[in-house]
Amino acid sequence: MDHVARDSPARLALFVFAGIVLVETSLLSLPASTSSGQRAPFVDAFFTATSSVCVTGLVTVDTATYWSPLGQFFIAIGMMIGGLGIMMMASILGIVVSRRIGLTQRFLAASETKSRLGEVGLLVRAVVVVALSAQAILFLTLTPFFIREGDAMLSALWHAAFMAISIFNNGGFVVMRDGLGPYAGDWTLTLPIVFGTVVGAIGFPVVLDMWRRRGHGKKWSLTTKLTLVTYAVLLLLGALLFFLFEWDNPKTLANLSLGDQIQATLLHSTVARSSGLATLDVSSMTQSTWFLLDGLMFIGGGSTSAAGGIKVTTLAVMFLAIVAEARGDRDTQAFGRRLPSEVLRLAIAATFLASIIVTVGTIALMEVSGLPLADALFEAVSAFATCGLSTGVTPGLPTAGKYIIAVLMFAGRTGTMTLAAALALRTRRRVIHYPEEWPTIG
């Protein structure tokens, strides 16, 4: 196993991830997992399992009414495993059981988190502290909310625990029967969603770096600086554009007070990047807003986080390269550091591969379901970016369409670069270099 992990950690990670999805599917296929006591159809169990482990939140059946408390428990466990990462979870279990992390777990966790082998132990411990602390805070914050809403104590505790897991891990599943729509103006729910989504989406290495160098922002790593700046710019820009597109829409913002409009705008700019926990009806939004949300979902959150998408650092690197080219600079720079050309190549490769996957998925959805382009594109981007926002067409998709969405969720969560590395047979090293010649560009 160590040999396989060392030679092809990405490929082994894909197999392990797929295995977890299949185990989750078998658990949700149990009659006890449904509220009716009948076995769930395989496509619904498989779709829900994939959505849970890939922390997406797209559903074909209603989470609150279709699944029993046991089924909801399995969904919550899937979100916890998927949010932390399969190999990160294995490393945590290794510490719990044997007080150390084995070589296999180190290789796989290092591959999954893009960190150095020697940093894995420290990063795993930081992940445990951050994950447990954030979810505990969310649980303590949400419990009074559900008690106030009339839930019995045990029900309130379970709903608070489920939603804390869903929010922090950017899972997107909702356990309330009426969804989040009735709480569009309720700060006691929307603020925890914004807080938990951001903490879960900026990335564990970023949180660790900020904690280790607290009070010394200038010493933060380049990844931390790029992540925080890009994330904040996209959050504010997304909120501004969302407000401009929806402020006069009577089905979304128009009938809310100014305070509730600001709250809803901030919430949807945040959740569109990862968790998908919307309080407004996405199907009632304008198509301009849909296109905006497509872009925010496609970008996603920070690297090594619960969020999907191409990641904010990828966007930042490409933007900086464009700025450098426009200025005529030979080097791409950021915060006093020069970016290697290999980083730009990786950013371009990840973005292009993600675009191809979304394009193929969109076309496939239109072919099997007859959906218009806007709906098919929105569903495909949401699935690939593991966001979970939907225009409401997911439950009505034909069986083939549901499997297409499941494949997109799996590809988005495992990562385009992980998929590329897993599918590559070998690393090619050329000993002969051809003469250099520039083709005409533009």
User: Where does residue 116 rank: exposed (0-12), middle (13-18), buried (19+ CB within 10 A)?
Assistant: exposed
Domain ranges in the chain are 2-423
- Cβ(197)–Cβ(277) below 8 Å: yes
Task: Specify the pLDDT at position 331.
Answer: 82
* Matching residue, tokens 């080097």: 331
Task: Specify the pLDDT at position 95.
Answer: 41
Residues 6+ apart with CB under 8 A from 60: 43, 44, 47, 48, 394, 395, 397, 402
Positive or negative torsion for Cα 312, 313, 318, 320? positive
Stated pTM of the model: 0.86
Q: Around Cβ 227, how many Cβ atoms within 10 Å?
A: 27
* Matching residue, tokens 């509220």: 35
Per the rule left: phi > 0, alpha: psi between -120 and 50, beta: everything else, 336 is left
Residues 6+ apart with CB under 8 A from 231: 198, 201, 202, 273, 301, 302, 312
Beta bridge partner(s), residue 338? 333
* Matching residue, tokens 């901030």: 266
Three-state DSSP state, 334: strand
Task: Specify the pLDDT at position 416.
Answer: 60
Tokens of 31: 């009659």
**Weakly modelled stretches of the chain, pLDDT under 70:** 1-13, 85-124, 215-217, 416-431, 433, 437-438, 440-442
